[in-house]
């Protein structure tokens, strides 16, 4: 029983929000909130054009209040207007703007409409944005088109925290066109993780280490596994002098033969 009452209350709340949006017009209202207070129902309307919503001398607000009392039997509905300072950072406003432009100019000019909306987001210094259009664009066969720029998270907690999402529907002659808009405003809290740079510190060499290094290079003592051993100096290759000795012996023999031959002739 309690579940049914809860579902009925939420359904009634949704119907009130949709009624307020339809009465005020597409592209004028970004979001509608409903709060219950002891004095009555408080309806909060977020819009970028508060003058059009209020009307001359508050006539539009008075008419909407009377309609809410008659249709939904609200005792004391209080309508509050909240102005949106930068409409280009509000995804629902941009989605409704694209939908109204497609209904006005037709689906054949969908590219110019999407690029114009994207250019407005770029000029407003948004960190990233994406526009997705799905439907009979421009032929009879349904297609999906994507227009995007900048930084945009699709998954994880940052995607739910910093990305503003909205949906809208454009009723054109060829058929229904679905619109999805994603915007990352410039004041979004993006955490940047900087990579740590490894700095190698050069430790000055102590006197003991310097003495060990010099002793090992000059054939001193080496330390291996905690034991001190005499360092062996590198062996030098000995040159073979055998060939030179043989040549000296041959030269001496030839000199003796020459001296003997000269003595016999005399």
CATH number for 11: 3.30.300.20
SS3 147: strand
Per-residue pLDDT at 114: 93
Does one domain contain both 92 and 164? yes
**What is the number of domains present in the chain?**
2
Query: What are the Cα distances from residue 37, in Å, to 66, 76, 77?
Result: 19, 10, 10
Q: Is residue 190 part of a domain?
A: no
Residue 49, domain member (yes or no): yes
Q: Averaged over 186-200, what is the pLDDT?
A: 66
Specify whether 56 is located in the same domain as 112.
Answer: no
Please check whether residues 7 and 64 belong to one and the same domain.
yes
pLDDT score at 266: 47
Higher pLDDT, 143 or 189: 143
Q: Is 185 helix (H, G, I), strand (E, B) or coil?
A: coil
**177 and 92 share one domain:** yes
Query: Is 90 exceeded by the pLDDT of residue 235?
Result: no
140 and 172 co-located in one domain: yes
Of 115-129, 157-171, 204-218, highest mean pLDDT: 115-129
Q: Are 132 and 172 in contact (CB under 8 A)?
A: no
Last residue of a domain, one of 184, 200, 230: 184
Least confident of 70-79, 220-229, 243-252: 220-229
Of the listed ranges 42-51, 119-128, 209-218, 236-245, the one predicted with least confidence: 236-245
**245 within domain boundaries:** no
Within a domain: 77: yes
Assess whether 65 and 7 both reside in one domain: yes
- At 196, the pLDDT band (50, 70, 90 cuts) reads low
pLDDT on residue 115: 94
Say yes or no: 68 and 101 in one domain. no
Residue 152: inside a domain: yes
pLDDT at 1 exceeding the cut of 80: no
Same domain, residue pair 109 and 136: yes
Residue 173 has pLDDT above 70, yes or no: yes
- 96 shares a domain with 25: no
Q: What is the pLDDT of residue 147?
A: 94
Q: What is the CATH number of the domain that holds 145?
A: 3.30.1140.32
Mean pLDDT over 11-26 rounds to 85
Average confidence score pLDDT of the chain: 78
- Record the pTM: 0.63
Q: In what order do the strands lie in the sheet with 176-184?
A: 143-150, 128-135, 176-184, 164-171
**The domain boundary residue, chosen from 84, 119, 139:** 84
Q: Are residues 70 and 99 located together in one domain of the fold?
A: no
Q: Residue 140 burial by CB count (10 A; 0-12/13-18/19+): exposed, middle or buried?
A: exposed
- pLDDT value, residue 148: 92
Strand ranges for the chain from DSSP E: 29-37, 40-47, 78-83, 128-135, 143-150, 164-171, 176-184, 221-224, 227-230
Determine the average pLDDT of the residues in 108-115: 91
Domain closes at, from 134, 151, 184:
184
Q: Model confidence over 47-68: pLDDT tens digits?
A: 888 888 888 888 888 888 888 8
Cα gap 188→125, rounded to integer Å: 12
Any domain includes 112: yes
Q: Give 14 or 257, the one with higher predicted confidence.
A: 14
Question: For residue 29, what are the domain limits?
Answer: 2-84
Instruction: Examine the domain organization and report whether 35 and 96 are in the same domain.
Output: no
Q: In which band, very low, low, confident or very high, does the pLDDT at 75 lie, cut at 50, 70 and 90?
A: confident
Same domain, 94 and 171: yes
Q: What is the pLDDT of residue 198?
A: 66
Average of per-residue pLDDT across 188-192: 65
């Amino acid at each position: 029983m309690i579940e049914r009452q809860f579902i009925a209350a939420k359904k009634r709340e949704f119907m009130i929000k949709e009624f307020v949006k339809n009465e005020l017009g597409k592209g004028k209202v970004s979001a509608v909130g409903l709060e219950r207070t002891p004095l009555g129902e408080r309806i909060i309307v977020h819009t970028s054009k508060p003058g059009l919503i209020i009307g001359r001398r508050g006539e539009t607000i008075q008419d909407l209040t009377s309609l809410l009392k008659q249709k939904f039997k609200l005792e004391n509905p209080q309508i509050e207007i909240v102005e949106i300072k930068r409409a280009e950072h509000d995804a629902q406003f941009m989605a409704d703007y694209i939908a109204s432009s497609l209904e006005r100019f037709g689906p054949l000019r969908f590219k110019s409409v999407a690029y114009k909306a994207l250019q407005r987001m770029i000029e407003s210094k948004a960190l990233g944005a994406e526009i997705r259009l799905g439907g009979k664009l421009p032929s009879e066969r349904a297609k999906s088109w994507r227009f995007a720029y900048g930084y945009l998270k699709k998954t994880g907690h940052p995607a739910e925290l910093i990305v503003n999402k909205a949906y809208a529907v454009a009723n054109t002659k060829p058929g229904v066109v679905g619109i999805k808009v994603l915007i990352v405003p410039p004041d979004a809290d993006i955490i940047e993780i900087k990579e740590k740079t490894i700095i190698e510190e050069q430790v000055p060499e102590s006197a003991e280490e310097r003495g060990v290094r010099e002793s090992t290079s000059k054939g001193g003592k080496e330390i291996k596994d905690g034991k001190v051993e005499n360092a062996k100096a590198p062996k030098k290759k000995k040159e073979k002098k055998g060939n030179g000795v043989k040549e000296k012996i041959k030269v001496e023999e030839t000199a003796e033969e020459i001296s003997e031959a000269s003595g016999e002739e005399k």
